[in-house]
Structure 1
């Protein structure tokens, strides 16, 4: 299952899109942190079935891949920001790897992966990445068919706004690994971004020749990142956000502070989960970095926030070993 987010004509009479579809949400709340007796899941800022705004012509397309056990709505705060700046974003549910996926008609498929070993060469993870890469390739092929005038369930005119010659991808955790592996496998993606995900499989040794952004939590400890770094031969950055944790790159960054008191979580427990950085600030910094990155790579816009440390963003640390391939000095700070 995929969900398409796009700039739309005014559609105030249409219903707001929920953060997660109804039956999937019920499964999510029964098995996750945000139990229904404590938390009401939100609606998004999108409208279901709104007509695409075709006045801006064809727009860059960005794919989103969720983390292991998560779902396509996991980073909606980041997705909405990109769409509000004119991108089309396609969020992908990786069935049986996602926590739950609801299909038309109401069927819900739950997480069904074998137990993981936690090792980088875990065959289950390696197979999951391969399946995710196949998912990504299929989604882009289908979008290309729609852009060429193919028929399907998309809103009328949406194919006319897709510019797949400018396709990006980002993901959280295993979704970030998916972006890297898909690019290494030849899936036609111009630029990728990895939000705190370890990397697996051939891409670590092979590297990439296209732009790639690494954004990590404060306590970054991923051996695959320094291993792949010298093999990133295109534009590259490794940014570490002070005060964040692994799930800071998901909507938990905004949900958990609101729900903490009802869940009985202490400030210390909350900080262990999403870090001590204020959640509103954390999401704002992530939004600005990710937007600047895709604006640079897919639109050719200058991105000062990515050129080096800024007093306006003291949380952002530039981590690497010297000059990037474009000659911009970004030594470790």
Structure 2
């Protein structure tokens, strides 16, 4: 649905006026730098394309910058991906981010948060939340899961496309979902192993690492935490839980942040909730929908599509309000559990955000 809606709008009949799509500015005081890294895991072949001898990943590192003067703003997606998803005669121009390419980093070492996107989409789809965390002093590393994501562009111009075949039965689907999560966990642990050798490693406080993800990325965060104690706190943004988290206890802080009624409709949330033995939180955003927890919350309302197409995927909540609320609660969680300060929003309902429902 998400890809279909975006493709429908971007391929619309050309018009005289061209609209530049935009992302809301981050709320924190820090300037933002960003860079990319191409990582090659030579210990395993690609799990989805047998001809590829090594698993290759692309990540972006977002960090507080000392200065951005002379450094251009990064595009929302890489040039090759932009050419794939936005036709030359499209009435829209894809957004630019608030991150500046290869800007010099600010002094100090900052807590690190990893981001895993939903199934079939790219690491860029969490930019709205990523940028806000960075503007408040975090380093965020976003991960593309190659051949799971629709498009991944490598530095030499190659573009890896989605290569996971659909299942033919419920049994195959269950096995496939478990494999997808297992591959994502392996990807993430490899990224964790490489953090000390990444660009900007000197800006990272690796004793304070968290992780969050949307949809499939949310269960990825939980399943990573089960097997890797380097990740101290995690967030699932509206994703069903899959894999070991349903059968094993997790004793570190975790936040379940769901769309309107998600938790009531998804029995995996009930099962996973019982497995959370550390500090745990379960909240719901009224009038939101599954894709509210991605950049599409900001972008779809700008496309001019009829409400009956947009509302089922990003809800009826005002887009700017939805984003402001998500930013506040995600930051409060990581502030409390990585910085050990703040986080009062997690104590219970707040008159500032009546759209948030707390579940016991």
Q: Distance in 1 between matches of 2:83 and 2:267?
A: 37
Q: Distance in 2 between matches of 1:4 and 1:174?
A: 21
SS for the counterpart of 1:165 is strand
Structure 1 partner of 2:258? 216
Offset at residue 226 of structure 1 (A): 0.4
Offset at residue 28 of structure 1 (A): 3.2
Alignment of 1:169-208 (within 5 A): 169-208=211-250
8 Å CA contact retained: 1:248, 1:275 = yes
Match among 42, 47, 50 for residue 95 of structure 2: 42
Q: How many residues are aligned here?
A: 300
Q: Distance in 2 between matches of 1:120 and 1:276?
A: 35
Q: Distance in 2 between matches of 1:303 and 1:19?
A: 30
Q: Tell me the TM-score normalised to structure 2 length.
A: 0.80
Mind listing any 5+ residue stretches in structure 2 that lack a counterpart?
A: 1-57
| 2:194 maps to 1:142 | yes
Show CA shifts across 1:253-301 (max 9, x none).
Answer: 0101111x2xxx2223221120000000000000000000000000001
Change (3 A) 1:13 1:4: same
| 2:295 maps to 1:251 | yes
Question: Between Structure 1 and Structure 2, which shows a larger proportion of strand residues?
Answer: 2
- Where do 4+ consecutive residues of structure 1 move more than 6 Å? 118-121
Q: Tell me the TM-score normalised to structure 1 length.
A: 0.87
Change (3 A) 1:29 1:124: farther
| 2:354 maps to 1:310 | no
Offset at residue 118 of structure 1 (A): 6.7
Structure 2 partner of 1:58? 109
8 Å CA contact retained: 1:59, 1:161 = yes
Match among 79, 82, 85 for residue 133 of structure 2: 82
Offset at residue 85 of structure 1 (A): 0.4
SS for the counterpart of 1:317 is strand
| 2:155 maps to 1:104 | yes
Mind listing any 5+ residue stretches in structure 1 that lack a counterpart?
A: 147-151, 321-333
Q: Distance in 2 between matches of 1:43 and 1:309?
A: 35
Q: Distance in 2 between matches of 1:37 and 1:51?
A: 35
8 Å CA contact retained: 2:189, 2:228 = no
